[in-house]
Amino acid sequence: MSELIIRRAEVNDAATIQAFNKAIAWETEQKQLDDNVLSLGVRAVFSDSAKGFYTVAERAGELVGQALITYEFSDWRNGWYWWVQSVYVRTDARRSGVFRALFEHLKREATADASVIGLRLYVERENQRAQETYAALGMEEEQYHLFGLYPLPGRTSAY
């Protein structure tokens, strides 16, 4: 098996990231995402670094995994959480250490930035396999439940 390269995504990776995001939505929630909205959303990350950044895993010149980092500032802790989102590993690359390599890379980057105080992600309650993976990487279940209001009144859903 060839070497795994972990790197910041570049705009020319956008089409693959979009395809991976479609796959995530379908595999985890059986949601069909709107291609136009998704394309605009992925490209928005590349055009505005305040929205976050993608990190990708590449093997033999092909993307095999990805993660999106977005930011949340905690006034209680005077620092930034990095939210790990849009995690995807191509089906033929699963169980081969791709996510572990992505996560360890992101953890090193976060640790090197004194303003970052932690990493967080959310996971489907039924996705026991993912929860076991995250626990094996040292993550712990937090005390919070996630609530949301989406879409906002008068708006339509993006999927």
- Averaged pLDDT, 67-77: 98
Task: Check residues 129 and 45 and name the one with the higher pLDDT.
Answer: 45
Enumerate the domain spans of the chain: 4-136
Token code pair at residue 87: 């995690």
| pLDDT confidence bin for 38, thresholds 50/70/90 | very high
List CB contacts of 133: < 8 A, sequence separation 6 or more: 99, 100
- Calculate mean pLDDT across residues 23-40: 95
What's the CA gap between 27 and 63, in Å, rounded?
18
**CATH fold for the domain made of 4-136:** Aminopeptidase (3.40.630)
Residue-wise pLDDT for 108-117, tens only, equals: 999 999 999 9
Residue 25's pLDDT is: 95
pLDDT at position 157 is: 83
CA angle 58, 29, 17 (to 5 degrees): 25
DSSP 39: H
Q: Read off the tokens for 25.
A: 């939505």
